Amino acid sequence: MERDEEIFILQMSPDFHMEDLYAVSEILSEADIFVPGYIPPDVGLYEPSGFLYAHHADGLETILLPDRNVASRLAQIIRGNPVSRDHQLRPAAAIMAFAQCLDIQIEPSIAFHELALVQGNAAAHEELTWFRAADQPRPSEWLSVALGRADRMNIQMTLPEVVSSNLAGRLNRWKRNYIHALKIAEIELTVMPKLDQVLTLFKWMYEDFILGGPAALLAAVYFAPNSPPRSGLFKSLRSSDRERAISGICNAAWDLTHLSDFIRRVQEDKDKRYLFASFDAGARHVARLLLGAGQDQEGGRAIAVGLRRWWSDDDAELIAQTLSAYYGQPRSPEWYERQRANPGRIDELISLGERTIRQPLGPNVSDLL
């Protein structure tokens, strides 16, 4: 390997799967599964040479943060499940093949906290063990599955040991995100104009709880009137089985937690490059809005631009300006005193929100889409 001001030459092993790697990169580029927490190189986000240069020339480590669906499907594949049974399994194999060929590390911690809360600690540890098995270097096998030469992984292995821990313990930020998700769901079930729904949420966040960037922008996308990517967000919200609605809100809270973890890492760890990976178009859109907001020096200009695909120009501008104004407006000493005086406020808000959602739906609520 040689490097000077103009030329970088990396000599690859003769058995390196370069042609297959480029085929996988085309799959990922078409699906656009990644959201980078950094400015991609000029050659493009999914161009392998950009990752090879960053890793070998610049010494940069890239960390991929998969959401729950991606992490779970990687575990399913390594267990030998045929990828033809689920349309998301082959793209998941492409993610792992791409990562293993390019020395991209994968950190799935939030995904298994989510599983533990839903299915219990034992189930989460079992799937985490299989995920760690999937993360063992086997690029040729992953490429074969990703490119359709094989329908399943068929390998003998010894499962790695995973240190036992309490993955089921609720993360504090998940509880805050759950409160935000409950409020978004409550407002969605209330008859009011779409713009009023967004502004009502922002006002409640500022006056009664806390401002949450991921929840605010997810709501701005979810409430939008012009065909926003709502699929997968707040599943079963209008189900007659209100526990299914609660479950869907929990899932939305985990989406918010994945997003907030991604943004936190990007902001706090400048020595590494982070990629968020999700099959959910809505989550990816919100991630990009959050990144743009974090880099915005013009009072919400990036948010307004990002929202214009689903809102009128005037409404997108008003949403962005209102949220920026709340963030720039200090709270009164009385507000802080009220928070200190009620240390159980988080649990109270969760109980109140769940009680509201569990109420039977009115006769026309199911038609309010």
The structural domains of the chain, with segments of one domain joined by +, span: 19-146, 172-260+281-361
The secondary structure element, H or E, covering residue 35 is: strand 34-36
What is residue 230's predicted lDDT score, i.e. its pLDDT?
Answer: 86
How many residues are listed for the chain in this entry?
369
Is 369's pLDDT higher than 50? no
pLDDT (tens digit per residue) in 109-143 = 788 888 888 888 888 888 999 999 999 999 999 99
Instruction: Please state the pTM of the whole predicted model.
Output: 0.87
- Residue with more model confidence, 352 or 4: 352
pLDDT (tens digit per residue) in 9-21 = 666 666 678 899 9
Q: Which residues contact 64 (CB under 8 A, 6 or more apart)?
A: 34, 95, 99, 104, 105, 106, 107, 274, 275, 277
Is 216's pLDDT higher than 90? yes
Orientation angle between helical segments 109-119 and 242-268, nearest 10 degrees: 160
Is 303's pLDDT higher than 70? yes
Nearest Cα to Cα of residue 28 among 258, 232, 279, 272: 279
Band of pLDDT at residue 363, cut at 50, 70 and 90:
low
- For 147-200, the DSSP string reads TTS-SS------PPP-----TTSPPHHHHHHHHHHHHHHHHHTS-S-HHHHHHH
